[in-house]
Amino acid sequence: MTCPDRRSAALAELSDLLAGPVVPAARGLLGARLSAGGVTVRITEVEAYAGTAGDPASHAHRGRTPRNAVMFGPAGHAYVYFTYGMHWCMNVVTGPDGEASAVLLRAGEVVDGLDVARARRPAVRRDVDLARGPARLCAALGIDRSVYGAHLLGDGPVRLLPPAVPVPAEAVAAGPRVGVTGAHDVPWRFWITGDPTVSTYRRHVPRRRDQPVGKQSQA
């Protein structure tokens, strides 16, 4: 059983980290746990997005809109968006109030509620694939539009918890973000080295048929 003081200290530490620059916040989210809908996931892969601060890949790059508004608010809230006509993805808002940065949760390991997650995703065969990929992670946790803007560090239905076991810096790998058209030189995807639940990297390829691209996988 965890001592309450120690637990709240760790939560305050996480809260402070999220309120700071997006890259350390992203790394600090590795190993943290996200609980929702009867399922808990240990986060194994994330991506940092720097909002209006010169990051063309961010949904906030072109300024504030109704969709991205929550990213401009204080850290520790959920930015949930709908994509490809059927998938939900979730970010944790970071940085000071007024600045739009966020961390996309790309993959996790289901550490509680395995049967619930399996029931939600009958198409997925292996357990390591249940929350492998940003949309699958949300599907496993039952996250949808209703989670938009939720505060994640309190007693709400969607909760972020500090890592049960801290992830040492040497266990974290970095590389380019997935599916991002530009900014290939920006290594803002972070994952836990060798973790089987990390999604395989695929370089973004514009719709082309004639040009095969070599396979790449995680290190």
Partner DNA sequence: CCAAGGATGGGCT
Partner DNA sequence: GCCCATCCTTGGC
> Where does this chain bind DNA (CB under 7 A)?
47, 49, 57-60, 62-63, 65-68, 79, 81-87, 89, 91, 102, 104, 121, 123-124, 129, 133-137, 139, 177-181, 199, 205, 209, 212-215
If the CB atoms of residues 123 and 219 are measured against DNA, the closer one turns out to be 123
> Could you give phi then psi for residue 97, rounded to 5 degrees?
-55, 135
The nearer residue to DNA, 5 or 215, going by C-beta atoms, is 215
Rounded to the nearest whole angstrom, what is the least distance from the CB of residue 128 to DNA in the complex? 12
Whole-angstrom distance, CA of residue 78 vs CA of residue 136: 17
The amino acid occupying position 212 is: P
The distance of closest approach from Cβ of residue 80 to DNA in the complex, given in angstroms and rounded to an integer, is 10
Q: Closer to DNA at the Cβ: 11 or 73?
A: 73
Work out the angle at residue 71's Cα, subtended by the Cα atoms of residues 91 and 55, and round it to the nearest 5 degrees. Answer: 85
Smallest distance, DNA to C-beta of residue 8, A: 29
Q: How far is the CB of 94 from DNA (least distance, A)?
A: 11
Amino acid at 74: P
**Residue among 207, 208, 216, 73 nearest 151 (CA):** 73
What is the rounded CA–CA span in Å between residue 125 and residue 75? Answer: 35
Q: Cα 23 vs. chain centroid, distance in angstroms?
A: 12
Residue number, 29 or 60, with CB nearest to DNA = 60
Please state the closest distance from residue 202 (CB atom) to DNA, in A. Answer: 8
By beta-carbon proximity to DNA, the closer residue of 31 and 133 is 133
CA distance 46 to 175: 11
Count the alpha carbons within 13 Å of 151 in the hemisphere toward its beta carbon.
Answer: 6
Q: Is 106 exposed, middle or buried (CB count within 10 Å of its CB: 0-12, 13-18, 19+)?
A: buried
Q: Which is nearer to DNA, 40 or 197 (CB)?
A: 197
Least Å from the CB of residue 29 to DNA: 13
